Chain A
């Protein structure tokens, strides 16, 4: 165990406060894949809301704090593409030249990306007999390139979809606009409330016509926005973070990768 890489768990502030089940599912799936994680309790927020509003002076201390908290880890894993994109693509301004920063940038991963690229697990043993619609969260897609975007010409791939598709019984629905933004956009959701809500409703309609029973994404922020619209309109669609699906689907499965594994705990 001691020569295993140390993995720091980075749980975005709003997941910590509002969606703890997503954090727990992240721990669960990583454990099941043989990864021991450490959750440094000093962490709060990566500073993205401030940076995206242009308030860089307010974002700076949070970037420095993040760096202090996470620089000791070999890998940092987070169930949010958007927060990882903040670290990887928008921290240079605050931390460029800092010893250890380049390593931190290189070693901070979105959860699916970590499973797919670092653990090199492409096939999960699990069952999830549901019709699932994958919402491609923009920052995961176009900043982290977790998948190919519809604008770019080239080979088509998608790491999140690949992991989901490997589950037995899952049916991934076909959308008319496979990677249009849901309209969350951070403070945009509030300052441009009308357009933001219209964008969200349009995404939900696309999932309705496709017959999605569960709407999933690798970013809880998009789902928080979509779920807010769904619940207000009492629509029969549920949202689940990708991590929740992966954890739930593999809960009863036998071991996935060789190595030390927790005995699977069956929930009655």
Chain B
């Protein structure tokens, strides 16, 4: 289904769509406050963009350096070309340790690879330990937002879910009470887990270490109790130096949730004593983006979600309307890169307002890349036939001034006489909730010519615009 269809379903519940819009606008407003508090904000963004551009320009070298340093710290490094390889590597590691119960902190990469269902199919229990992610997992849903996975769910609905699944009091929806219930249940999962899986926010080439950012400390707990830690990262997560973290950590939480920094920014340098640390580096289409002049900058993305919070379309259409692992503006660039046929409608799910580009902490020109994707969609013949035909027809007319003038005159002449049922037929999507502009008797060019010729009406005024009622 196209984005427009799914979005219309979300918008149909006007109250809920507005609630969703306001919840995310609140986060965007918090972000503004935090950003405004740093006079050097724009310098930080520019620096981050340059560091990313630099890293990506010699990614292979940095990856080699990183892997070498990480191995020297005792990390076991694995390379995966695509999702299937990634999932198999993770499964093999778990099997070699006879693990059947895993806790996992938030990682969009493992969502991208659909790791959970894969492991479950192979008899391994996976519990997502980020509260929001656990809620969507209990509901059997994917996250609807990359930072706020359960932003589409109301607290009353969480209360009902917990009542059914955890036996909390019926009708209880007080966040503190529900969080406490979740904490007790999750604590059991942590205690039982034989391995912890995490994502990676930043990997540092010069040290071989990496950083995982969470607000709940669930990543730390998940890898501190079991002896086995598997970290999964996309190859674009690399930065050259430890000091570069000072740039990115300041941008990440401010952009994501309007916090000065995430509650936990945990640095990992090799396995803990007596434990094992595996790192799976995944390409899965990233090197294709790296090879593309147009879309390379999308690899700058640090998955902060700010483009979703600011996007006027995302806020009103909900994360699921994108039907993709990463929804919203940045997802509408990344998803068609994986499968243009499946995600052809996403680059058009955008009014080209450019707010995402201005909010992006790593200065990805998101709305221009979406425009470039529209060109790709059309060039690959994936644009709907009626849009293509309409644009070709319009171009044919507009190339010929005389034809444009003639058709304009005809339209303005006939328009006012058309019955309303015809003008506002179901084919007219514009007219579903909007009136069409009224038809002026004369065009600007006609009026301008009359005016320049010195024409005046009875009262000595220049010709005026007469409109159909």
**Measuring CB to CB, which residues of chain A are less than 8 angstroms from any residue of chain B?**
11, 13, 15-24, 27, 39, 41-45, 47, 49-56, 58-59, 61-62, 65, 90, 138-139, 141-143, 149-154, 177, 179-181, 183-202, 224-225, 227-229, 231-232, 265, 267-268
Contacts and interface: CB of A to CB of B under 8 A. Distances in A.
A227 B310 CA distance: 25
B448 A39 contact: yes
Contact of A62 (B32, B35, B395, B443): B395
A151 B412 contact: no
The 6 A-B pairs at the shortest CB distance, nearest first, are namely A185-B351, A228-B434, A54-B374, A181-B353, A23-B444, A54-B378
Interface in B428-445: 429-430, 432-440, 442-445
B354 interface: yes
A195 B437 contact: no
A58 B395 contact: yes
B447 interface: yes
Nearest to A153: B41
Contact of B437 (A24, A186, A228): A228
Nearest to A26: B444
A3 B395 CA distance: 37
B430 A228 contact: yes
B465 A24 contact: yes
Contacts of A53: 374, 378, 383, 387, 391
A142 B379 contact: no
B408 A52 contact: no
Interface stretch (B233-241, B283-291, B397-405): B397-405
B359 interface: yes
A17 B394 contact: no
Contacts of B433: 193, 197, 201, 228-229, 232
Given A55-B392, A185-B351, A16 B408 contact: yes
A41 B352 contact: no
> Taking each of A45, A58, A267, which has the highest tally of chain B beta carbons within 10 Å of its own beta carbon?
A58
Contacts of A177: 25
A13 B404 contact: yes
B87 interface: no
Contacts of B354: 138-139, 141-143, 149
Interface string B330-364: 00000000000000000111111111011100000
B378 A55 contact: yes
11 contacts: A13-B398, A17-B444, A41-B401, A50-B391, A56-B375, A61-B395, A62-B395, A138-B355, A185-B350, A202-B18, A228-B430
A198 B435 CA distance: 15
Contacts of A20: 440, 442-444, 446-447, 465
A190 B451 CA distance: 36
A41 to B, nearest CB: 6
B422 interface: no
Contact of B313 (A16, A52, A184, A195): A195
B388 interface: yes
Interface stretch (B4-12, B242-250, B259-267): B4-12
B358 A195 contact: no
Interface in B301-322: 310, 312-313, 316-317
Contacts of A139: 352, 354
Given A16-B443, A20-B440, A153-B36, A192 B374 contact: no
A58 B392 contact: yes
A214 B350 CA distance: 27
Contacts of B313: 192, 195, 199
Nearest to A220: B437
A21 B462 CA distance: 12
A59 B347 CA distance: 18
A190 B444 contact: no
A187 to B, nearest CB: 7
A240 to B, nearest CB: 13
A20 B451 CA distance: 12
A190 to B, nearest CB: 5
A133 to B, nearest CB: 18
Interface in B1-58: 3-4, 7-8, 11-12, 14, 17-18, 21, 25, 32, 35-36, 38-39, 41-42
B432 to A, nearest CB: 6
Contacts of A150: 32
B355 A151 contact: yes
